[in-house]
Amino acid sequence: MIKDTVKQSLQDLFPTPEPVVEEAAAPAAEGEEEQDDKKKKAAKKAEPRVNGVLERDYAAHGYDLDVQLDPGELEAAVTILDQNDFFIESITGVDWIKEKQLEVVYDFSRYDFDRCRVVIRTRTPRSEPKVPTITEIYSGASWHERETHDFFGIKFEGHPHLIPLLLPEDADFHPLLKDFKP
Amino acid sequence: MSGPIHIQPGETFTLNVGPQHPATHGVLRVKMEMDGEYIVKAETVLGYIHRMHELMGENRTYPQVLPNLSRLDYLGAMGYTHGHVLAVERAAGIEVPERAEYVRAIMVELNRVASHLFWFGAFVMDLGGFTPLMYAIEDREYILDMLEAVTGSRLTYCYFRFGGLYNDVDDDFVNAARAFIPRMRKSLKKYDALVTGNVILQQRLRDIGPISANMCRRYGATGPVARGSGIDFDVRKNEPYSVYPEFDFDVPVYHECDSLARYKVRMDEMEQSLRIIEQGLDKLPEGPIMPKKKPKIIKPPAGDYYQAVETARGSFGIRIVSDGGKNAYRFKLRSPTYSNMHLFDEACEGMMIMDALALMGSLDLVIPEIDR
């Protein structure tokens, strides 16, 4: 099963296996298989989610692995996916205005019958949002990153051509930020 | 297969293809740096019909945003609304009656045939053959009339509902669909003799616009573009949804990686869609088309949900981030042509401009769907 191999190699990115056990999701996830009572109690509190790899129920969520990491670890994680023949599905952002954070969400999948959908999330402060680019690993990330830059103003450091893609050339607004007023 | 020709950038000029050019099938601009007839570098410029559907998805309730989905791809709109209803049903946990699932599959496949037919006509017209378009449109009209009678619209359908359908299919539709299958099979034989077997077309497309499997992976190309590069990937098979596991159909895959391979994949897919429609009509169960219990106001529990479907152009994905409210907190649309078009910049380097237009046609572009 590719899912187990990828899960294992992604988990190696995190220093100790403890963060995986502690389940406390920000967009609270319920009904996970591995959960016990302690974790459910922890999930009820709106604590920010700890970095790590989570296995999700495909039928309920539509993906298998959910990885949250710091922007610094992004390239390492994406390289692992590249080595395992994943293709890039999309990149997008989510504006968590209450937590003063912007989340960048990466979707990966495989051309294979051994299904494994991986979601990588990373958070960056809203005041100065920046994330390293992955265009050197996946050329197809270029447009997705430019689009996310258009809509959220997230700066993808190292992107060779970070100019507006869908918005006008002179656009100085970011329409998907929650405090955007047209 | 001869590789692309690499030219030293010496004396070049810039050529704008588009935004209003017949070969781009919409408002799309490709800025090409040309050395005579050869493309040195190409840059696609998007956004001419960007309408910010994702923001509309956040400002409206889930049912209100449903008609938006069919404004993405006006040729294969049914598949896109299918993606939305499946995503919301997954998020809110709504059950769908069996009859509705079968009718949905039949409708989506009919629409897929209609979309491929129009692509076939337009693509051959790009290459200089006008007549096949007329035949293709005639068959497509038959499908559109059938769909219009049931759904009420010719292109921008809003036929699916969360949990079921807007109205049931009648005997007229079933009879028309049954009559359509032999008619379309006869037409496919005709297209095969008239166009696919034509030496001029084969010479024009063979080895033109090679796209390697690795390039597909790096750009995330899906659908017929990936299947023409030897990748056996179809969301209907790889991540089965709805009632597709019940149907017996094949996924056509060609390994030549050229424009002819992508052409053949779509022609073969029409036959496979006919097989699904035939089985769907045979198996169509009696029963309700809407569930008995359904929430009046749809409020999915807080969380992050993803749903992928196979549309006529490839894997279409919807991500719904819900905070438990009536509107989506974040509504992301992953459109297949966006990724398929992205690889054009790299693939067309070193090609002659007329060959690049053949490559562009073989990607099956629908611009509103790229710009969203």
Give SS3 for B157: coil
Of B231, B239, B329, the CB nearest to A115: B239
CA distance B191 to B209: 23
Give mean pLDDT, residues B236-242.
87
CA distances from A165 to A161, B9, B24, B196, B370 (A): 10, 26, 17, 37, 11
Contacts of B85 (CB under 8 A, 6+ apart): B66, B160, B161, B162
CA distance B321 to B215: 30
pLDDT at A42: 46
pLDDT at A17: 53
Identify the CA nearest to B259 among candidates B224, B214, B221: B224
B306 within 8 A of B332, measured Cβ to Cβ: no
B134 touches chain A (CB under 8 A): no
Subunit contact A62:B87, Cβ cutoff 8 A: yes
B145 touches chain A (CB under 8 A): no
- Residues of chain B found within 8 Å of residue A111, distances taken between Cβ atoms: 217, 226, 231-233, 238
pLDDT at B166: 87
Give mean pLDDT, residues A16-36.
48
CA distance A13 to A79: 11
Give mean pLDDT, residues A28-47.
48
CA atoms within 13 A on the CB side of B167: 11
B57 within 8 A of B354, measured Cβ to Cβ: no
**What is the ipTM, given to two decimal places?**
0.85
Assign B113 a pLDDT band (cuts: 50, 70, 90). very high
Residue from A49, A96, A102, A143 whose CB has the most chain B CBs within 10 Å, to mutate: A143
Assign B197 a pLDDT band (cuts: 50, 70, 90). confident
Identify the CA nearest to A90 among candidates A70, A117, A65, A123: A117
For the beta carbon of residue B55, count every other beta carbon within 10 angstroms: 15
First to last CA, chain B: 37
Subunit contact A62:B218, Cβ cutoff 8 A: no
For residue A15, the 8-state DSSP code is S
A69 within 8 A of A134, measured Cβ to Cβ: no
Task: Dig out the tokens for B112 from the structure.
Answer: 């897929």
- Residues of chain B found within 8 Å of residue A90, distances taken between Cβ atoms: 220, 317, 319, 332, 334
B131 within 8 A of B200, measured Cβ to Cβ: no
Within 317-336 of B, beta carbons closer than 8 Å to A belong to 317, 319, 321-323, 329-330, 332, 334
Q: Across chain B, how many H-helices and E-strands are there? A: 15, 10
Assign A31 a pLDDT band (cuts: 50, 70, 90). very low
The maximal CA–CA distance of chain A, rounded, in angstroms, is 53
CA distances from B363 to A10, B164, B208, B339, B356 (A): 34, 32, 12, 10, 11
B108 within 8 A of B310, measured Cβ to Cβ: no
Identify the CA nearest to B22 among candidates B266, B357, B356: B357
Subunit contact B342:A140, Cβ cutoff 8 A: yes
Subunit contact A105:B319, Cβ cutoff 8 A: yes
pLDDT at B144: 92
More confident residue, A1 or B274: B274
Residue B182: pLDDT above 90?
yes
CA distance B240 to B234: 9
Give SS3 for B163: coil
Give SS3 for A57: coil
For the beta carbon of residue B130, count every other beta carbon within 10 angstroms: 9
Residue A71: pLDDT above 90?
no
What does the mean pLDDT of chain B come to? 88
Give mean pLDDT, residues B13-25.
79
CA distance B62 to B101: 20
CA distance B131 to B135: 7
Q: Which is it for the CA torsion B113, B118, B123, B125, positive or negative?
A: positive
Residue from B29, B244, B251, B330 whose CB has the most chain A CBs within 10 Å, to mutate: B330
Subunit contact A28:B317, Cβ cutoff 8 A: no
pLDDT at B106: 92
A140-153 pLDDT tens trace: 899 999 999 989 98
pLDDT at B38: 87
Residue A19: pLDDT above 60?
no
Q: Which is it for the CA torsion B30, B33, B35, B38, positive or negative?
A: negative
B354-371 pLDDT tens trace: 888 888 888 888 888 888
A103-128 pLDDT tens trace: 999 999 988 888 888 899 898 998 88
A160 touches chain B (CB under 8 A): no
CA distances from B173 to B107, B108, B242, B252 (A): 11, 14, 21, 28
Task: Dig out the tokens for B342 from the structure.
Answer: 């992205």
Residue B289: pLDDT above 90?
no
Give mean pLDDT, residues B167-175.
88
Is B67 buried (19+), middle (13-18) or exposed (0-12) by CB count in 10 A?
middle
The nearest alpha carbon in chain A to B238 belongs to A113
Residue B40: pLDDT above 70?
yes
More confident residue, B269 or A62: B269
CA distances from B242 to A111, B83, B89, B104, B151 (A): 20, 10, 11, 9, 20
CA distance B90 to A55: 18
